[in-house]
Structure 1
C-alpha cells in the first residue's frame, strides 16, 4: 500500500550496506510511461528534452557499482522497461548506447507496487464492518495489550 515507508526502507538499506543514502537511486516508474522517457532512463539518446533526467541508470551504476536501485510503482511503466529489467535480473548487465557493458552484479534491485492495495483495504473494511463494535474494541484492546507487552520486554 501507499505511504508505508517502502522508499524509506530502501534508503535505510542503502545506508546500512554502503554507508550512504547517495548509493540509492529511486526511479518513479510513472516517469517511464512512454518510449522516450524509458530510453532516457536507461541511458539511450532521446531527442525529447522534457524527458531529461539528472543521470541515467547506466551512468549511475557505472559511477557507483555498489548501490540500491528502487523501481517505484513498477505497474505504471511502459512495456519496454520490462525488457531491460529482465536483462538486469537474468544477465546482470546492460549495454549502453556505445555497446559498452555495465554490470549490475553489485546492485540490489527493489521493485515496489501498489497493485492490490485497494482490494486489501476494501476487504479489511468489509471484515471490520461485518463484526460488531464490541468485537472491534476487544480486538483493538488485545492488539494494544500485546504491543505494550512486547515494548516492556524490550
Structure 2
C-alpha cells in the first residue's frame, strides 16, 4: 500500500467521499469540497503540524482515507501520549478484503508508544463492529454536533 499525504480536498478525494454512501447516509450533511476541507481542520488551537491526512492506494487505486492527530485525545485535551483518529474510511466496495485491518495494524505498529482514540457514530453498526474486532474498547459516549458517538480506545502496543 502507498500513502499520500494531502492538505486539502482534490477531485479524487471528493469522488472517494461521494462513493462512501453507507457511512455518509448516517449523517444528512451534503458532501461538498467546502465540507471536506472544513472537516480536515483540527480543533481550534491544535498544532496542524501534528495533523495528518492520507489517501491510501493499492495498485494506483485509492482504497482508503485516514485523518489522525498526534497529541490529542477525547474531551479536546492535548496529551502527547495520545493519537486521535478523526476519520477512517475504506472504499465500500472493498469492505471485507482486510484493507482496514491492515491499515490500522500498521498505524498501531508505527505509533506503538501512543494510546489511540476515536469517536464512532452510535448508529454506525459496521464501524463499531470493526473497531471492536480490532481490540478497541468503549470508554465513553458523547455528542458530535447533534449525533451521539461512542469513544473507543486502544493501547497501540497491544497485539492485534
Fold shared by both chains (TM-score > 0.5): no
Bigger relative contact order, structure 1 or 2, given CA contacts below 8 A and separation 6+? 1
Rg: which structure is higher?
A: 1
- Could you state the TM-score of these two structures normalised by the residue count of structure 1? 0.32
- Greater helix content: 1
- Could you state the TM-score of these two structures normalised by the residue count of structure 2? 0.31
- Greater strand content: 2
